[in-house]
Amino acid sequence: MLKKESLRKADVISSIILIILGIYVIKEALKMPATGLPGTVEQEFYLAPGFFPIIVAIVLIIMGLFLLINGIRSGGRISKDDLRKFVKIFTSKNAIRSIVITALIIIYTIILLGRIPFFWATFIFLAGSMFFLKAGSWWSILLISTIGSLIIQYCFGTLARIPLP
Amino acid sequence: MGLFIFFQELINLITNGQILFLMFISTILGIIIGALPGLTATMGIALLTGITFGLPAKLAVPILISIYDGAIFGGSIAAVLINIPGTPASAATALDGYPLAKQGKAKEALLITRIASFIGSLFGMICLLEIAPLLSKVALQFTSPEFALLALFGITICGSLTAPDLAIKGWIAGFLGILVSCIGMDGLHGFPRFTFNIPELLGGIAYVPAMIGVFGIPQVLISLRYSTGEMARIIEVKTKLMNILRIIKNHIFCVLRSGVIGVYVGTIPGVGEDVASWLSYDTAKRSSKNSESFGKGAYEGIIASETANNACIGGAIIPLLTLGIPGSPPAAVLLGALLLHGIRPGPMLQFEFPNFIYEMSALLAIASFLLLICGTLMTSILVPILRRTKNEILMPIVATLCVIGAYAINISLFDIKVMVILGLLGYILVEMGYPMAPFVLGVILGPMIDVNLRRTLLTSNGSLLPFVTRPVSIILLILIAFSFISQTSWWKNRKKKGVKVS
């Protein structure tokens, strides 16, 4: 979790996103027809499919406003200097580890799986992640990735009979 | 009569070799999951829910219960041996467990945690057996307004109690979960909501990919942010079982009190084993004659923490089965798993599956005994593993298991994408101090609020009176209002002033 000072700044950003999300949900929900139950002629607003999402969105907007006010009161105003710090957060060594692993997960799940056989996709992801994280010597990484992929494929594909992608 | 059914179920399960074998393996797996830092009971159950989806409920439920019980105990192994709590539930155990290990009493400490966990699990099971049927009778009086308010209460109280930063963030997480649950065809009309013309979204967001995503992916990313440090050396000294039993006997009052605390905390929606263990540890320290020894290797400390966190399991299952409201984050995942297998926890459970509460109690009893056996087996095996396994090797494998867990439910690549997107969203939210347990509760209980709210309005011609005229509804409304008000600065200042005056 972020430090307390950064948290208040993050609160300001997240509250604005929440308010925008709430307004978007209300806009979309209002487009949903206010018809009654199938087979009936009732046209009450409280039966409309958009009724509940509107209530949830209103609650989110109210909570977002509370969070925004609290964030600003607790020193969460965002300055130009904060933007520089924000960029720095994303370029720190620890953040780069998270970003690269996120990228590898996205490549594995969205690009590789379904396009190449499961074993090779998993092997590439495991080996790539472990190489990046410097988990050991190159031969141990290749060995662990190969054995790991084989065990996973055997346990789930063969034993549990899951048709792997 | 209830006790008779319980023993009947117990005998049925014990004589079923297949179930017993699966529970044995699952308990071992649970202990491994719990012992490996970074993997939690919640994540373990979420993963196994996906993987065991293809199995019938009579096999999948015992597996998940064993994983749950094993993982909560497993956390104490890492806490004692390497001072890294395997699960948040065992963080309090590390305070005295690790100093004991440094004094050469690692095996002694582990044996105590094992027996304490066993007694805790059994205590929770007895409470489940005794309290759940009574609560079921009360729950039978619930109708649409009560169900809507009960689900809302579960989400708000969970938000209040699990938020690491501000309580409002817990509520926001819960309402975001409810919003996610609105995706797909609505429960009354079958009208597609927020589907963006994507056919896969018509069926809504599946629980399991959502659960694996928000619990698994943030865990993987957070664990990998820092490289694994040096682990402490483990001291191994022989110990006698009789000595351990004597220690437990000398602290029997602490054991019973911790059991009660564990069950009580477990019954509060969304509050889990970690809170139970800290509360019990704190109570033990305050009431102990040797409070100064806490943190330096007090047996009482590890007994209090481990009894409470395992007793919490039975406690968390009580509201899960009777009201359909899970008592802890792992129980929330368990709720998703039960729903997936066609078992709908709540007041109607006793009609649809009359013996289910007794079956669950029997499963918990068996899991407790297996924990004692497997714990002995696994402690010696896990010592070298814990010393050698690096997060850099473990976490990519965990990420792969998350992918399979999400995929296996519907054999759908789309579910993997949902898991990843919600996982990344979860990571950002966790970093910003939003808890994930209320989010998951929101996803699961959202449709319950939506349908019951509109059904109430339909039967009352749009009037909100049923929410304020029925006794249970009024109580629930007061509780919801209190869960909000108790978090305001006005209430907290008032409480502080009250303490000063007294």
DSSP states of B128-172: HHHHHHHHHHHHTT--HHHHHHHHHHHHHHHHHHH-SS-HHHHHH
Highest-confidence segment of A97-111, B40-54, B224-238, B267-281: A97-111
Q: With 80 as the cut, is the pLDDT of residue B128 above it?
A: yes
Residue B394: how many other CB atoms lie within 10 Å: 19
Q: CB under 8 Å to A25, separation ≥6 — which residues?
A: A53, A54, A56, A57, A60, B179, B194
Q: Name all contacts of A35-44 with Cβ < 8 Å and 24+ positions apart.
A: A35/B189, A37/B188, A37/B189, A37/B458, A38/B189, A38/B190, A44/B457, A44/B458, A44/B462
**Contact (Cβ atoms closer than 8 angstroms) between residue B281 and residue B295:** no
Average the pLDDT over A127-134 and give the result.
Answer: 92
- Taking the CA of residue B173 and the nearest CA in chain A, the distance in Å comes to 10
Q: With 80 as the cut, is the pLDDT of residue B72 above it?
A: yes
Amino acid at B196: F
Q: DSSP letter at A139? A: H
Using CA atoms, how far apart are residues B318 and A43, in angstroms rounded to an integer? 41
B19 part of a folded domain: yes
| A116 three-class SS | strand
**Which helix (H) or strand (E) segment is B3 a member of?**
helix B2-14
pLDDT at A106: 93
Comparing CB atoms, the residue among A56, A101, A148 nearest residue B182 is: A56
pLDDT at B277: 83
> What region does B190 belong to: left with phi over 0, alpha with psi -120 to 50, or beta?
left
Structure tokens at B171: 């509520």
Amino acid at B251: H
Using CA atoms, how far apart are residues A95 and B431, in angstroms rounded to an integer? 12
pLDDT at A89: 63
First to last CA, chain A: 35
Comparing CB atoms, the residue among A28, A109, A125 nearest residue B417 is: A109
- Tell me the per-residue pLDDT of B473-488, one tens digit each, with 9 for 90 and over: 898 899 888 888 887 7
First to last CA, chain B: 49
- Tell me the per-residue pLDDT of B268-322, one tens digit each, with 9 for 90 and over: 776 678 778 877 888 888 888 887 888 888 889 899 989 998 998 888 888 888 8
Structure tokens at A31: 């487009």
Residues of B in contact with A6 (CB under 8 A): none
pLDDT at A141: 93
pLDDT at B499: 54
Query: In A1-133, which ranges are continuous DSSP H helix?
Result: 4-30, 51-73, 80-91, 93-106, 118-132
Structure tokens at B218: 């943030």
Residue A86 banded pLDDT, cuts 50, 70, 90? low
B235 part of a folded domain: no
Mutate to test the interface with B, among A23, A162, A164 (most CBs of B within 10 A): A162
**Contact (Cβ atoms closer than 8 angstroms) between residue B40 and residue B223:** no
Average the pLDDT over A74-94 and give the result.
Answer: 70
**Contact (Cβ atoms closer than 8 angstroms) between residue B170 and residue B161:** yes
Residues of A in contact with B407 (CB under 8 A): 162, 164-165
Using CA atoms, how far apart are residues B52 and A29, in angstroms rounded to an integer? 37
Interface list for A 125-144 with B (CB within 8 A): 125-126, 129-130, 133-136, 144
Percent of chain B with pLDDT over 70: 92
Q: With 80 as the cut, is the pLDDT of residue A146 above it?
A: yes
Q: With 70 as the cut, is the pLDDT of residue B228 above it?
A: no
Q: With 90 as the cut, is the pLDDT of residue A150 above it?
A: yes
Residue B135: how many other CB atoms lie within 10 Å: 17
**Which helix (H) or strand (E) segment is B63 a member of?**
helix B57-82
**Which helix (H) or strand (E) segment is B311 a member of?**
helix B299-323
Using CA atoms, how far apart are residues B42 and B64, in angstroms rounded to an integer? 10
Range of the domain at B16: 2-229+240-501
Q: DSSP letter at A42? A: -
pLDDT at B232: 44
Q: Give the residue with greater pLDDT, A112 vs B472.
A: A112
Residue B237 banded pLDDT, cuts 50, 70, 90? low
- What's the predicted TM-score (pTM) here? 0.79
Report the residue of chain B nearest A127, measured CA to CA: B396
Average the pLDDT over B184-199 and give the result.
Answer: 87
Average the pLDDT over B463-472 and give the result.
Answer: 87
- Taking the CA of residue A147 and the nearest CA in chain B, the distance in Å comes to 11
Q: Counting Cβ atoms within 10 Å, is residue A153 exposed (0-12), middle (13-18) or buried (19+)?
A: middle
Q: Counting Cβ atoms within 10 Å, is residue B177 exposed (0-12), middle (13-18) or buried (19+)?
A: buried
Using CA atoms, how far apart are residues B177 and B175, in angstroms rounded to an integer? 5
Percent of chain B with pLDDT over 90: 15
B403 part of a folded domain: yes
- Tell me the per-residue pLDDT of B323-340, one tens digit each, with 9 for 90 and over: 888 888 888 888 888 988
Query: Do the Cβ atoms of A46 and B166 come within 8 Å?
Result: no
Query: Do the Cβ atoms of B221 and A98 come within 8 Å?
Result: yes
> Which residues are A113's β-sheet partners?
A116
**Contact (Cβ atoms closer than 8 angstroms) between residue B155 and residue B481:** no
Domain count of the fold of chain B: 1
Q: With 70 as the cut, is the pLDDT of residue B1 above it?
A: no
Query: Do the Cβ atoms of B424 and A94 come within 8 Å?
Result: no
Query: Do the Cβ atoms of B178 and A56 come within 8 Å?
Result: yes
> Which residues are A116's β-sheet partners?
A113
ipTM: 0.90
Residue B84 banded pLDDT, cuts 50, 70, 90? low
Q: With 70 as the cut, is the pLDDT of residue A38 above it?
A: no
B234 part of a folded domain: no
Q: CB under 8 Å to B290, separation ≥6 — which residues?
A: B298, B300
**Contact (Cβ atoms closer than 8 angstroms) between residue B47 and residue B212:** yes
| Of A105, A121, A104, the residue nearest A113 (C-alpha) | A121
B124 part of a folded domain: yes
Report the residue of chain B nearest A65, measured CA to CA: B168
**Contact (Cβ atoms closer than 8 angstroms) between residue B277 and residue B89:** yes
Residue A17 banded pLDDT, cuts 50, 70, 90? very high
Structure tokens at B258: 């911790």
Comparing CB atoms, the residue among A49, A66, A163 nearest residue B189 is: A49
Q: Is A98 on the interface with B (CB under 8 A)?
A: yes
Q: With 50 as the cut, is the pLDDT of residue B502 above it?
A: no
Structure tokens at B143: 């109708």
Using CA atoms, how far apart are residues B297 and B290, in angstroms rounded to an integer? 11
Residues of A in contact with B427 (CB under 8 A): 98, 102
DSSP states of B374-434: HHHHHHHHHHHHHHH--HHHHHHHHHHHHHHHHHHTTT-HHHHHHHHHHHHHHHHHHHTT-
- Mean pLDDT (chain B, rounded): 83
Q: With 80 as the cut, is the pLDDT of residue A133 above it?
A: yes
Residue with tokens 């304490």: B116
- Mean pLDDT (chain A, rounded): 85
Mutate to test the interface with A, among B160, B385, B407, B461 (most CBs of A within 10 A): B407
- Tell me the per-residue pLDDT of B381-394, one tens digit each, with 9 for 90 and over: 776 676 667 778 88
